[in-house]
Amino acid sequence: MLEVASFSYPFATLQQLAEDVLKHARDKGATASEVDVSEGFGQSVGVRCDEVETIEFNRDKGVGITVYVGQRKGYASTSDFSPQALRETVEAALDIARFTAEDDCAGLADAALMAKDCPDLDLYHPWALTVEDAIETARRCEQAAFDASPLVSNSEGASVSTQQAHFVSANSLGFMGGYPTSRHYISCSVIAGEQDAMQRDDWYTTRRCADELDDPALVGRTAALRAVARLGGRKVKTGEFPVLFEAPLAAGLLGSLVHAASGGALYRKSSFLVDHLGKRVMPEFINVSERPHIKRGLGSSAFDSDGVATREREVVSGGILQGYFLSAYTARKLGMQTTGNAGGSHNLIIEPGTRPDEANEPRPAGHRTARPRDQLRDRRLLARRRRLLGRERQDRLPGRGNHHCRQSQGYAARDRRRRQRCASPRFETDRLDTGRPHDRGRRVVD
């Protein structure tokens, strides 16, 4: 049986460090304080065209301390857990606080709102994954993408990652909470088509428990089918059409809602949802709820960054906005009460609905959107390439075959060599004439 890597510091040690920091802050004159102590580690493996491209190990730890001197606030952090370093960090935060302006809204959340009995949300499931097994999993994922369609011409790689962490959050009001977490990830990105008719797409699976991950081969096939489905896109005539956002993109739209309904945007008057509580902001068939206590949920948490207990609630009901996303600070700025969302939202769920006027009618012609922000994605890929260039020799990094940017002759030559390696019997595919029509079927992902 494989041995699972363990934390360098027991959970009890993190708790003791938090208590020591709070005590020193109190002794040095802080009227209130809060601290976060955390440790995490993991590994990531990347494979491209059957070759290992990256193997990364990470192990991190840190302490962040916030102190209040009256209505003045200071923050400092360190990755050194020694007693002297912790004392110096507390004193640095106090020095910052003494030189900042007073803020009437600064301070800890109300003691009555602090989490007391934290439920076990089953968020920690370590994965005993060796580097060799991770490489084989990534290769199997990528190979399934090449096998899915002869139109898949190149790969941007498959990756496998496993991460574990634990933390303790505490403040001078007596709150202390924390727990271990895990997150595992498999992804694949491929290119379909050739020459000026190439498209890329990807797919991934991520879970708290590795046993619940999708099969790597399914991830690869899905990435390939999505890339192939993007081939042959054409412009639509000018007009008004219903737009269908596929599931991954529709979920991403929730980010815009959260940002617009967040306390920071609201008190700065930079949101279109200012003074919109109780008003219709979406169609009546849209319902959005927040469920922070889902077992093994990726966004599950018993308390927020302020230590405030989280709770289930309706954010949008029948298209009407029922609540904002507020921390203790932003709530005070708005003259409201915190919603337990310091640090973000927790498991937002769009409940299925039906448009009453179209429930029994044929769906009209419209437009299906899978990714309307390709330029942003290209910038992310360029940033990723730059990061890789900083870690590896340039001659180890192949060109991406991206027709949006011109490659240098050296880059093109390296890419041709990599393509020749990809054309080995394991990756051999039949090429279709680029001028010949091909299947442009669309696949809706639940």
218: burial class by Cβ within 10 Å (0-12, 13-18, 19+)?
A: middle
Whether 252 maps to a domain, the answer reads yes
Helical H segments across 261-373, by residue range: 263-267, 328-334
Q: How far is CA 302 from the centre of its chain?
A: 19
C-alpha–C-alpha distance, residues 87 and 78, integer Å:
10
CA distance 232 to 442: 11
**Would you state the pLDDT for residue 369?**
62
Written as one letter, the residue type at 288 is V
User: DSSP assignment of 53-98, as one string?
Assistant: EEEEEEEEEEEEEEEEETTEEEEEEES--SHHHHHHHHHHHHHHHH
Residue 300 lies in a domain: yes
Cα separations in angstroms, 308 against 105, 111, 173: 16, 9, 12
pLDDT reported for residue 155 = 95
Which helix (H) or strand (E) covers residue 359, if one does?
Answer: none
Contact 71, 133 (CB under 8 A): no
Identify the sign of the CA torsion 273, 276, 278, 281.
negative
Residue type, 222: T
**What is the tally of structural domains in the chain?**
1
Query: Is 51 among the domain residues?
Result: no
CB 207 within 8 A of CB 131: no
Residue 108 in domain: no
Count of other CB atoms within 10 angstroms of residue 351? 12
pLDDT tens for the 446 residues of the chain, in order: 455 668 999 999 999 999 999 999 999 999 999 999 999 999 999 999 999 999 999 999 999 999 999 999 999 999 999 999 999 999 999 999 999 999 999 999 999 999 998 899 999 999 999 999 999 999 999 999 999 999 999 999 999 999 999 999 999 999 999 999 999 999 999 999 988 889 999 999 999 999 999 999 999 999 999 999 999 888 878 888 887 778 777 777 888 899 999 999 999 999 999 999 999 998 888 899 999 999 999 999 999 999 999 999 999 999 999 999 999 999 999 999 999 999 999 999 987 666 555 544 555 555 566 665 443 444 444 445 444 444 443 333 333 333 333 333 444 444 444 444 444 333 332 322 223 222 323 223 33
247 within a domain of the structure (yes/no):
yes
**What per-residue confidence (pLDDT) applies to 197?**
87
| 146 in any annotated domain | no
Q: Which residues pair with 176 in a beta bridge?
A: 170
Residue with the two structure tokens 């498991």:
347
**Sequence letter at residue 294:** I
Rounded distance between C-alpha atoms, residue 328 and residue 108, angstroms: 7
Question: Is residue 117 in some structural domain?
Answer: no
Give the residue numbers spanning the domain of 266: 243-358
- What H or E segment, with its residue span, contains residue 131? helix 131-148
**Closest-CA residue to 158 (of 200, 220, 206):** 220
Asked whether residue 326 is assigned to any structural domain, the reply reads yes
